[in-house]
Amino acid sequence: MLVLQTVRENREDLIKALKKRNLDAEPLLNQVSELDEKRRAIQTRMDATLAQLNATSKEIGILFKSGKAKEAQELKERSAQFKEESKKLGEELNEVTSALDQALYLIPNVPHHLVPAGNSSEDNEEVMREGDIPVLMEGALPHWELAKKYDIIDFELGVKITGAGFPVYKGKGAKLQRALITYFLDRNTAAGYQEIQVPHLVNAASGFGTGQLPDKEGQMYHVTADDLYLIPTAEVPVTNILRDTILQAKDLPVCYTGYTPCFRREAGSYGSHVRGLNRLHQFDKVEIVRVEEPSNSYKALDAMVEHVKGILRELKLPYRVLRLCGGDLGFTSALTYDFEVFSTAQDKWLEISSVSNFETYQANRLKLRYRDENGKTQLAHTLNGSSLALPRVLAGILENYQTEKGIKVPEVLIPYTGFDIID
């Protein structure tokens, strides 16, 4: 969430900056300012009351020692009043502080100056594209037809077991899926990311820490009996490892990578654009997460973008990079680059990665700080990226690598699969 001091000191600048998200932030910021003033006023009264209580307690002790029990008893009655007043003020302070936090939770992150204006994905800015789009043989099939033809992914069986959006991978399809996971992890660890395994369910505090709550509550599966949430991405548990932590500057950057299944309700998703692997309720993803000093975070973001480019080059998939506009930018992100792979059989681009810098937005929620070389405690910057999400990468491989004899396996994956064609 936004740093409260920033709201106090830069209110007009924030209103202007958040317009890039097509948001009139003035009413929200007014509410925050009013609650902040109320909280500070209550805190001032509480501090004064506690000071009076402390002074009275000392005076009572002196009177008792001096044998002035009657005067001491009278002061004890006043002391009890101060205690009751401080208790009421404490309850009021907690209530207003909670309301202030809830108001701050409703304000999205401030877009970086590079974020283009725009209303939707149609207004995203293409930064670059690379790779040749293959010319397929006549009668080329989309991946859901290829999956059925070669019996490697069974969507109907997934419907039987669970419901739509929960495919079953079989035979060479399952092995190719596993190969991609291992390959992604190997590439990430070779780049200096520490591999980590995390829980697939998180508590509400973790969801609030990274910003999935309350913004995306309706998109998460909620285990109500235990008040736990199935993770929509590894970003949530991995980043929350450092919640309520003070790091040393020498320990930065912190770089993690992890594989997890991801669970998303995707409420309201339907139509031909979500066929097959295009949109699922459960899918596999390898994530990279970084915690950086603010002065280095945008260099780190560029490095993450280059890292994902390198993976796609090795897979020899045609891709492009988009800079998300204000209207398409995630709630917690200051700047996001999306990667899309071109699906030749579907004749469209498929999103396969998002790489984002959240600056201090998540760190403020997480209370994730570091102590600089001067001993001053500051909020860190957090970043994360898909490296990579498997379903659409797999769809791109199946469709772009199909031949009349079968589906070729990208050369870089053959050591992981043990076979070079699906036939």
Calpha distance 191→195 (Å, rounded): 11
Strands (E), 331-380: 335-343, 348-359, 368-371, 377-379
Q: What is the pLDDT of residue 393?
A: 97
29 three-class SS = helix
In 26-178 the beta strands, taken as DSSP E runs, fall at 125-130, 153-154, 168-169
| Distance, CA of 407 to CA of 423 (rounded, Å) | 7
- Give residues with Cβ within 8 angstroms of 222, minimum separation 6: 228, 229
Instruction: Mark the binding-site residues for ATP, compressed into ranges.
Output: 264-266, 351-354
Strand order in the sheet with 222-223: 201-203, 228-230, 222-223
Which conformational region is residue 347 in: left (phi greater than 0), alpha (psi within -120 to 50 degrees), or beta?
left
Q: How many CB atoms lie within 10 A of CB 83?
A: 15
Closest by CA to 306, choosing from 293, 319, 295, is 319
- pLDDT at residue number 269: 53
Type and span of the H or E element at 36: helix 26-65
The binding site consists of: 233, 264-266, 287, 351-354, 384
Binding positions for L-serine are 233, 264, 287, 384
- pLDDT of amino acid 67: 81
228 has which bridge partners? 203, 223
Residue keyed to tokens 């700047």: 335
Task: Supply the pTM of this predicted model.
Answer: 0.92
Using alpha carbons only, give the angle 262, 267, 271 rounded to the nearest 5 degrees: 100
Read off the tokens for 315.
């897979």
Look-up of token digits 């069974």: 154
Distance CA 249, CA 380 (A): 10
Q: For the chain, which ranges sit under pLDDT 70?
A: 267-273
In contact, 242 and 291? CB cutoff 8 Å? yes
State residue 268's pLDDT score. Answer: 53
Cα dihedral across residues 266, 318, 354, 158: positive or negative: positive
- Domains plus CATH for the chain? 4-105 (1.10.287), 121-422 (3.30.930.10)
Q: What per-residue confidence (pLDDT) applies to 123?
A: 97
Q: What confidence score (pLDDT) does residue 184 get? A: 98
Question: Do 198 and 237 form a contact (C-beta atoms < 8 A)?
Answer: yes
